[in-house]
Structure 1
Amino acid sequence: MPSDATTNRYGSIAAEIYDIDKPLLALPDTGFHLERFRDFHRPILEPACGSGRTLVPFLQAGLDISGFDPSPEMLERCRTRCAEAGYAPDLSQQRYEDFAYPRRFGAILIPVGSFTLIDDFATAMEALARFRDHLEPGGVLVVDLQGLSFLASRTEDRRRWTSPSGELLTLEGVRTATDWKRQRAETTYRYERWRDGVLAESQIEVMAQRYWGLEEFRLALAAAGFAEVSVSGGYDRRRAPRATDRVWTFEAVRPSGR
């Protein structure tokens, strides 16, 4: 069964840290996907758009992109970022499990491994079918995935940032469960906000991810009705995936006859 509503929550401190830690155009996936969709003249959907790290640069490039996210805190930041840049895209609070639009899209883009936040296999397969149904015939699904090697990682995560207002924001993450059968990892994060050396706010969040094998995801895309599946590694479209890649990028097409 998929996680409950308290998992992969991305509350207020997590959302604030996300923007500080991952400013616009800072990660290699954004430029990679911008190049892929240069001169793309059909509407694009970004599920789990977060606070707009990808969506805003796409809007600035003149692309027609919409997004949804289950976190109200992330969506509020996304709306603010878009408004500050002069845009008002179609944004809504929805989930992978049951998102719905009255129109179809020319492309669906899920960058930087956000698809792994669907931590249940059956739910992931249902989401792939929903993506297919929301694509125009000939439309393309582009998904970045982190592979199974991440399931073996046990490194604890401790980091800190200074907010624009001068507050100290800290994060401590500890792997609390690893399920090799379900290919699922669960990490508990403690987010804290400090003012003048005094703890002002603390939030606990549980993050769960399901990691995929390379051929497994090829088969999953085919089973969901996609065709022309291709995959590249390390944000380099010129080469095949390698075992050492942190990210693989899959592309698949909804056939014209489906």
Structure 2
Amino acid sequence: MSSTLTTNRYGSIAPEIYDIDKPDFALPDTAFHLERFRGFSAPILEPACGSGRTLIPFLQAGLDLTGFDPSPEMLDRCRARCSATGFAPDLAGWTFADFAYPGTFGAILVPAGSFTLIDDFAAAMAALRRFHDHLDPGGVLVLDIQGLASLPVRGEDRRRWTAPNGDLLTLEGVRSRTDWFRQRAEVTYRYERWRDHQLVETQIDIMAQRFWGLDEFRMTLEAAGFADISVVGDYDRSRGVRSSDRGWTFEARKP
């Protein structure tokens, strides 16, 4: 089953929660990727840049980033956050399936498993080929994915946050579908906004992900034209990858 307009949509409440729950450097990927790109002088593209959790620290480090995201709400927050920190990067409302730039980039960075939101193998393969086409010769793709160990996980997700204006924001996530054949899972999220003890807004988002095998993804990168492929588990370069890793970071080069 391929993604539709009803899946992987971030409405207005989800990006607000995202910024509260994941402030800059709250997750280990940002520091890891900043170290990788220290001193990098070529332009970098960040697909699915969201509200700027990675993009803004990279700009602050003097790196040249361009970003796109299909969520208008995420992009609005990203533009506002960039403006507040004195930056005005090139941001666009592309998707993985239709992004197109007139030039190429020295690197493409997809952190924190955003690539798994492409929940169909053929669409993921097309995106990787599009990445390849948008890289300079010798350019690098750095991409985080979640492995198949995440596919059986069925725990419910219930959390709450207080927004800066005092609203109570709540989330309830329930695994609603697991497709073992396509390595795909759906989680139905219910977002609520409470103000003065009254429910004032509710949104339902269905998030779909496709999880990957380690060798499967390596071979998929090779089929897309990439070479010199390496992988790191859980942002730890001091050891080899493990089946228990929550995520893998692949790096590959366009010959």
TM over 0.5: yes
Which residue number corresponds to residue 109 of structure 1? 109
Q: State yes or no: 1:246 paired with 2:233.
A: no
**Which whole-Å CA distance do the structure 2 matches of 1:234 and 1:122 have between them?**
26
> Structure 2: which 5+ runs fail to align?
none
Structure 1: give runs of 5+ residues left out of the alignment: none
State the match for 2:218 in structure 1.
218
> Letter of the aligned partner of 2:224 in structure 1?
A
Superposed displacement of residue 224, structure 1 = 0.2
2:204 matches 1:201: no
Q: What TM-score do the two structures reach when normalised by structure 2?
A: 0.99
Query: Which AA in structure 1 matches 2:219?
Result: L
Give 1:59 shift.
0.1
Structure 1 residue 237: Cα displacement? 2.0
Task: Report the RMSD for the aligned CA atoms in angstroms.
Answer: 0.6
Which residue of structure 2 lines up, in the alignment, with residue 85 of structure 1? 85
Partner Cα distance (1:2, 1:206) in 2: 13
Letter in 2 for 1:72: P
1: CA distance between counterparts of 2:60 and 2:2? 35
Shift of 1:240: 1.7
Could you tell me the TM-score, scaled by structure 1's length? 0.98
1:1-258 alignment, distance < 5 Å:
1-255=1-255
Letter in structure 1 aligned against 2:154: R
Give per-residue Cα distances to partners, 1:20-42, cap 9 Å, x unaligned: 00001111100000000000000
- SS of the residue corresponding to residue 241 of structure 1 reads coil
Deviations 1:99-141 (A, max 9, x none): 1000100000000100000000000000000000000000000
Amino acid in structure 1 at the alignment position of 2:197: G
User: Which whole-Å CA distance do the structure 2 matches of 1:114 and 1:137 have between them?
Assistant: 24
Query: Counterpart amino acid of 2:49?
Result: C
Q: Which amino acid aligns with 1:10?
A: Y
Question: Could you tell me how far apart the structure 2 residues matched to 1:25 and 1:145 are?
Answer: 18
